[in-house]
Each structure stands twice: as structure tokens, then as C-alpha cells.
């Protein structure tokens, strides 16, 4: 069992080289938050319009299927 533990432990060590340190992730996370903050303003304004378009589309689709 101890041999299995060491085999797994030493095989996982090289994988830690692929994980970037936390300090380099901060800029990435900050950029993603900024993008989400900017797009949320647009999404809030566009959401009622998108709902209206889909409701009209499906209403017309269902009314055509009833008559056809």
C-alpha cells in the first residue's frame, strides 16, 4: 500500500508544473470579472427584447401549426 501511495504521489508531482501560480491568475480573474461586468449591462437591456422576439416567433409558429 505504501508503494502505491509513493507511485501516485511521485507521478502527480510533474502535473503541478502545469498549474500556474495564484499570482498569475489574478490578472486573468480580474479581466474576466471586468468583461462580465461590462456585458451584464448590455444583457439586462437586451433580455426583454430577446424574450419579445422569441415569444412572437413561437406564437406565430404555433398559430400556423394549428391552422395547418
The string of DSSP codes covering 6-33 is HHHHHHHGGGGGSSPPHHHHHHHHHHHH
Residue 1 has pLDDT above 60, yes or no: yes
Nearest 5°: phi and psi at 20?
Answer: -70, 155
Q: What ranges do the domains of the chain cover? A: 24-68
How many Å apart are CA 33 and CA 11, to the nearest integer? Answer: 35
**Side-chain-facing half-sphere of 43: CA atoms under 13 Å:** 6
User: Residue 15: what pLDDT?
Assistant: 67
Residue 68 has pLDDT above 60, yes or no: no
Residue 10 has pLDDT above 80, yes or no: no
pLDDT tens sequence across 14-50 = 766 766 666 667 888 888 889 888 888 777 788 888 8
User: Residue 66: what pLDDT?
Assistant: 67
CB atoms within 10 A of CB 19: 8
More confident residue, 17 or 5: 5
Amino acid at each position: 500500500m505504501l508503494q502505491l501511495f509513493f507511485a501516485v504521489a511521485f507521478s502527480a508531482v510533474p502535473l503541478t508544473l502545469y498549474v500556474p501560480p495564484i499570482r498569475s491568475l489574478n490578472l486573468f480573474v480580474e479581466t474576466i470579472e471586468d468583461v462580465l461586468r461590462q456585458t451584464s449591462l448590455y444583457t439586462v437591456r437586451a433580455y426583454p427584447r430577446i424574450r419579445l422576439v422569441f415569444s412572437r416567433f413561437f406564437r406565430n409558429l404555433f398559430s400556423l401549426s394549428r391552422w395547418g
